[in-house]
Amino acid sequence: MEPRNHSDVSEFLLLGLTKDPELQPLLFGLFLSMYLVTILGNLLIILAVSSDAHLHTPMYFFLSSLSFTDICISTSTTPKMLLNIQAQNQHISYAGCLTQIGFVLGFGGFESCLLAAMAYDRYVAICHPLRYMVIMNSWLCVLLILLSLLLSTVVALLLSLMVSRLSFCTNLKIPNFFCELAQIIKLACSDTFINKIVIYFVAGLFGALPVSGIAFSYSKIVFSVLRMPSREGKMKAFSTCGSHLCIVSLFYGTVFGVYISSVISEFSRKMAVASVMYIVVPQMMNPFIYSLRNRDMKEALRKLIRGLSSLCFYAIYSRIKYLK
């Protein structure tokens, strides 16, 4: 099988989740519903944090940034999948594939950094409560966001450019519903040693390093909480961390589970279905986790929904009155 230069590659074939044509309408409805819930839920979180002055704290600043990132990750993959199902055409252009790789890596790395920043925020709030507002000032919060975004963007661009220099064989089938970096590397006919080394480095940078920081923060939190004299204080401290721990477990658990399984066994459509668990499901579940477990967030969402309902009612009433 002769390799061909990347400039000769015009498109890749996404094999998707199933070949069964009878399941395509079901998949379309399911993923469209999940995408709409993801967008609506995360937008409500952003609007609630922006509109309620009580939520203008570092914790909710990071949460609204996380919601924005979840919208971007979901938008990087799901609309293309829905378009392919609707058009019954599983192809994706070469440029579109590189763009999708860049966005998924960039926003995925950014989310990993955000989760580590949120763990540090909880560590300062519980272990150094009297100095919390001094340490977690607005400048530090913005700096953490900008540095995380800059780092993830540079790494995503670097990996995308490295993929663009590869040559590919005639087999351009990707056993997934989106362009995943590991699968693109496997399709290359040219030497991918440097690419794999960089991927391992990036995995440590956005995987092992944030997880280590999160684990260190929570080890300090646990020791600090256990020294608290009152049971109510312990319960309150743990409750502020519960939502974040759920999101961390969901995000890293699904990512590591899929990639460890892909190392053990050959990537197949079963693994493509498992990929849904880290590229679609966490982004949809995050708003529910925070809104259901957080009393302040629930109250802010109630106020927001009441305000939006009143605004819609007034708009409809004004329109009816105008028509009369």
CA-nearest of 131, 169, 125, 222 to 2 is 169
Which three-class secondary structure state does DSSP give residue 116?
helix
Q: For every residue of 160-173, which 3-state class applies, written as one string? A: HHHHHCCCECCCCE
What local confidence, expressed as pLDDT, does residue 139 receive?
Answer: 95
Q: Hey, how many other C-beta atoms are within 10 angstroms of the C-beta on 41? A: 21
Domain 8-323 matching CATH 3.40.50.10140: the answer reads no
- Residue range 201-232, pLDDT digits in tens: 888 888 889 999 999 999 999 888 888 877 77
Please state, in angstroms and rounded to a whole number, the distance separating the CA atoms of residues 214 and 304.
32
What local confidence, expressed as pLDDT, does residue 250 receive?
Answer: 83
Q: Which residues are CB-neighbours of 6 under 8 A, at least 6 positions away? A: 94, 164, 165, 166, 167, 168
DSSP H or E stretch at residue 235: helix 231-264
What local confidence, expressed as pLDDT, does residue 218 receive?
Answer: 92
What local confidence, expressed as pLDDT, does residue 215 receive?
Answer: 93
What local confidence, expressed as pLDDT, does residue 169 receive?
Answer: 79
Please state, in angstroms and rounded to a whole number, the distance separating the CA atoms of residues 148 and 156.
12
What local confidence, expressed as pLDDT, does residue 3 receive?
Answer: 46
Q: What is the pTM of this model?
A: 0.89
Residue 87 CB-density burial (10 A; 0-12 exposed, 13-18 middle, 19+ buried): exposed
Please list the ranges in the chain whose pLDDT falls under 70. 1-8, 257-271, 292-293, 314, 317, 319-324
